[in-house]
Amino acid sequence: MSSNNSAWSRDEFEHRLREQGKAYHIHHPFNVMLNTGQASREQIRGWVANRFCYQVAIPIKDAAVMANCDDREFRREWIKRILDHDGFDDLNGQSDEGGIEAWIRLGLAVGLTREEITDLRHVIPGVRFAVDAYIEFARTRPWQESVCASLTELFAPAIHKQRLATWPEHYPWIDNDGLMYFRNRVTQARRDVEHGLGITLDYFTTRELQERALEILNFKLDVLWQMNDALAVRYGLPGQPPAALRPGNSSIEATTDVSLDNA
């Protein structure tokens, strides 16, 4: 913690939160590879299959946040996040399959089967560990801290827009309907971050709390970065083969993992 105990102004605090975007996984080499057209079909399928582990964890995380909160008005707003991902039927005459189903459609569009997506057979340990750490954080920390951790959504619209702009050009074999998740999240993330940012700015009002908020946001950024680190090791990067194919590799993965490339 800084020796200067004066709290940052609201604007300065928000600026410092947004400044953490330099560590967002949009800059990770694996994501750069995906969004610049350098990824193979197997790498794309591996990313989609592993990322599903994170997608199904989001409503579980959000339910944990709500369980830790005694503020009814907050819960009434936060529950929208669960509906966004799990979907809903016949709510005021409307229905929505939700983000999880949209992600499954992405998986189908890249050549995976519904079964191999939903049973998580392709999820590698590093991704599972990172996702579990995030769920555990939401279950055990004050709900205001979990709200702060969600502020990686500050940076999410940019990464979804990037995918929408580049994937149709680089990967024309992926059906456009499979990109619906990205289209939906551009607007949903903006709505969510407005709510989460307001709560964070209102709650973390001392210098000690504000610096704690930066630590929390960086923890979440690390979760997302670690997922990409694990994927880069497993599936490789341009000019760098997957770990399972490197000379001298004795990993069990090298002999037991089933290729995702059905092409």
> 259 lies in a domain?
no
> 90 lies in a domain?
yes
Residue keyed to tokens 């000379």: 247
Residue 31's domain is classified under what CATH number?
1.20.910.10
Cα angle vertex 240, ends 235, 245, to 5°? 60
* Burial status of residue 19 (CB atoms within 10 A of its CB: 0-12, 13-18, 19 or more): exposed
> 253 lies in a domain?
no
* Burial status of residue 165 (CB atoms within 10 A of its CB: 0-12, 13-18, 19 or more): exposed
- Label residue 177 by pLDDT band (50, 70, 90): very high
> 5 lies in a domain?
no
What's the number of domains the chain is made of? 1
pLDDT of residue 254: 32
pLDDT in tens, 196-220: 999 999 999 999 999 999 999 999 9
Instruction: Report the predicted TM-score, pTM, of the whole model to 2 decimal places.
Output: 0.88
- Whole-angstrom Cα distance, residue 82 to residue 63? 7
- Label residue 3 by pLDDT band (50, 70, 90): low
> 3 lies in a domain?
no
> 251 lies in a domain?
no
> 177 lies in a domain?
yes
> 4 lies in a domain?
no
* Mean pLDDT across the chain: 90
Residue 198 CB neighbour total at 10 angstroms: 11
Give the domain range for residue 181. 10-238
Rounded average pLDDT over 103-110: 97
pLDDT of residue 251: 36
- Whole-angstrom Cα distance, residue 221 to residue 153? 10
